[in-house]
Amino acid sequence: MRDRLRNLLALLDGRGTRGQSLVELTLTLPILLIMLMGLTEIGWYANNYLTLLDVVREAGRFGATLDPTSWADGEELKYHRMDCEELETNFDKRPFEEQLTWPGPDLTAWGYTVGDERPIGFYDGVACSVIGNMQPLEFNDLTDDIVVSVFQYVVLNRGTPYAEVRVVGRLPAKANECENDDRFDPFDWNHDGSGTGLDEDSARFDSTWDNVRGYVFRGNHRMNFGAPMDCLGSAFSTQRVEEMLNLSTDPDRTKIARVPNYGLVLVEVFWRHRQLLALPWFNLGPLEEGQMIHVWAFFPVSAAEPDLDY
């Protein structure tokens, strides 16, 4: 009887379970560590995403104060207009760099040439605003990209139930469409293939496919729509932007009837996400190593407003 009582007291006192805590720790610690590392990766991804979102919005605000019409057509297809300095022999993104050769991919198949250096203008100025504000994130010349586009639109039948927003131009003029994704040239605003557009923009109509959409800072973002060659640049087709302006998700014609003619600058950043801990079991969804983060922002730019009344 005494032995039984002694064993019962030992059990109640915990002396019979000395290894229980160690076993529990052994079982739960790996799970807790995985959860902690997962939260770290999620926080890292969210931080990078929000940083890029702030950067692209700031670049859009900066572009809204400039004049995209001052950019000479064709300058967007020159390597020397895809950097952040004005030296003929350099391709620097930052003042302390000394990049003497083009750091991006070969884009000659899309019509890019070396060209001449010019003072920083609208498109390279907006792109360099992204570069200057994205620290501590780093821009990788071989994977990342910045794309800048400007849209001009008018409102047809304003003030009536038949009001319709129509894009009448997309700049830069030599890089504004993708084969098999765009259905018409942005300067053919009747969408009938005739090239009918604004009088001052009639020379900008091009019946061939550019397969470059927007000013690209490096040309790393490429899309394939089943055409013989990839398309560089913006993820937004002209008709998609036109549908957005026509409130396709909220077809309230009274809202559209009050929309003024105007211009918009679209800034997009494509940035390859890199894991903080680089652990293989977190390669799921957006946390995957090498996942591309795409952020974008539209801002009104008054200098691109078309001078029309319909």
Tens of pLDDT, residue by residue over 180-218, are: 999 888 988 777 776 665 544 567 888 889 999 999 999
pTM above 0.85, yes or no: yes
CB 92 within 8 A of CB 98: yes
pLDDT mean across residues, the chain: 87
Q: What is the pLDDT of residue 199?
A: 47
Contact between 134 and 52 under an 8 Å Cβ cutoff? The reply is yes
> What are the extents of the domains in the chain?
38-73+145-304
**How confident is the model over 135-184, as pLDDT tens digits?**
899 999 999 999 999 999 998 888 788 888 899 899 999 999 999 999 88
Backbone angles phi, psi at 130, to 5 degrees: -65, -50
Closest CA to 130 of 293, 234, 267: 267
Q: Is 198 exposed, middle or buried (0-12, 13-18, 19+ CB in 10 A)?
A: middle
Report the run of H or E that residue 30 belongs to, with start and end: helix 20-64
Instruction: Say which residue, 211 or 307, is predicted with more confidence.
Output: 211
Residues 212, 217, 219, 223: what is their CA dihedral angle, to the nearest 10 degrees?
Answer: -60
Task: Give 92's contacts (C-beta < 8 A, 6+ positions apart).
Answer: 83, 84, 85, 98, 99
By mean pLDDT, which of 17-21, 82-86, 206-210 is the weakest? 17-21
Residues facing 164 on adjacent strands? 156
